[in-house]
Structure 1
Amino acid sequence: MLALHYYPGNASLLPHMVLRELGVPFELRLVDRGQGAQKSPEYLKLNPNGRIPVLVDGDLVLFETAAIVLHLVDKYPDAGLAPPVGTAERAEFYKWMVHLTNTPQPEFRAWFYPHEHVNDETAVPSVKETAGQRLDRMFDVISEQLGDKQWLLGERFSAADLFLLMLMRWSRGMPRPARAIPNLNAFAERVFALPAVQETFKVEGIRTPVF
């Protein structure tokens, strides 16, 4: 059986939503960040970086959120969480998955943990502020690309939409959260209305505001 090592609201939220959308059996294994469990010797054997999530699929042990999701959509293609391989639509899906994992997702590291990016503690506020400004611009670009489409791929829902919802949730404490952009707010409402997404948030104990 698949096993997802997770922590509520962490980057594991995305593969958790994907697993529930797939409707396949899986086990949740809590990694208690409050107790530093992600740095324990046992967990470091799974992910030497000491970060969450990890997916265990038989003998396969995967870390990196986007890699986990790409594996899952390929393992269960009939669920339709990604377009068929080799199509232009699949290329667009890859574009969004790579963009979200390479551009806004790492920027949140600087927003949430600015002290990791400096040697001089007096620079922490500046690091956080500029990370927020860059994220603002990134969400503006995503908003322009989304336009009035229902989903990132147009009429087709995909795992990339779940990815964007997670990142929007992370922005909720910013001076201008992503939900302040009208079409992104409407998009997030559509994604959050999905039963599998609601169940994921319920299981993780995530309360309002969810994004």
Structure 2
Amino acid sequence: MKLYYAETLAPRKACAVAGYLGLPIEYVFVDLGKGDGEQKSPDYLAINPNGTVPSLVDGDRKLWEADAIICHLAQRAGSGLWPRDAQQQIDVVRWLSWNNQHLYRHGNALYFEHLIKRWVGMGEPDPSKVEEAQGFFRKHASVLDQHLTGRKWLLGDDLSVADFAVGVTLPYAKSAAIPLDEFPEVRRWHDQLNAFDSWRNPFPARPAQTAAHG
């Protein structure tokens, strides 16, 4: 298997899950800042016509979208990160969908304002956009905080790919002004994820570190 990645949010969850599972994967770094971006090259577009990262090549199968990739990796490993129970599988899909529409959406906006804009030379964060994104983040984080009360993980006692997906913006809480500390259950849950080395250090080592880090 080959996992094409950059050191940004969506690939972070794919790399974290791959590392957690210990799968034999060849990591291929895609330099988003090289020329027009390696993700726009014909060779890469043949793998992922969207020109985005991450992408996974597994034999003859070419898979894109981080959430699909982490589910595939868990299934491929026979891991409980992809539940065997059908109702729990539906719960995973629910949290993946919720995250993309809500928590990730606004956490990503803060990540963009504070980290990506500086990295690509777009200037300082826009205070009005930061305030708006923080407001929406708080709204959705309160839903997550309430859900996690009395639960170890999103699905209860068992870790799943949903935890890796929903938590992906939180390692950047301080550097991206994400108000994580206002939500004690979310913070507790993220502290559990931080116990995993693959969560803290998801990306393979490279000679030159050129991506945005928090």
Same fold per superposition (TM over 0.5): yes
| % identity of equivalent residues | 28
Give the letter for the 2:170 counterpart: M
Secondary structure of the corresponding residue to residue 61 of structure 1: strand
Letter in 2 for 1:44: L
Which runs of structure 2 are paired with 1:119-134 in the superposition (5 Å)? 125-134=127-136
Q: CA 1:203 to 1:193, structure 2 compared with 1: closer, same or farther past 3 Å?
A: farther
Question: 1:154-177 deviations in whole A, cap 9, x for unaligned?
Answer: 111111111222121244434443
CA offset at residue 12 of structure 1?
Answer: 0.6
Gaps of 5+ in 2: 118-125
Aligned equivalent of 2:149, options 147, 151, 155: 147
Structure 1 residues 47 and 75, CA gap change in structure 2 (3 angstroms): same
- Encode CA deviations 1:74-130: one digit per residue, 9 max, x unaligned: 223x321122142x2222222112211332223345445579xxxxxxxx6534432
Q: 1:108 to 1:195 in 2, by over 3 A?
A: closer
| AA of the residue aligned to 2:83 | P
Cα displacement (A) at 1:198: 4.0
Residues 106 and 133, structure 2, Cα contact 8 Å, conserved in 1:
yes
Tell me the amino acid that sits aligned with residue 200 of structure 1.
Answer: P
Structure 2 residue 19 is the aligned partner of structure 1 residue 20: yes
> What's the secondary structure of 2:144's corresponding residue?
helix
Q: Report how far residue 201 of structure 1 moved.
A: 5.2
TM-score, with length taken from structure 1: 0.79
| 2:192 equivalent among 171, 190, 193 | 190
The higher-RCO structure (CA 8 Å, 6+ apart) is 2
Q: Mind listing any 5+ residue stretches in structure 1 that lack a counterpart? A: 116-123
Could you tell me how far apart the structure 1 residues matched to 2:166 and 2:180 are? 10
Q: Secondary structure at the match of 1:70?
A: helix
Per-residue deviation, 1:13? 0.9
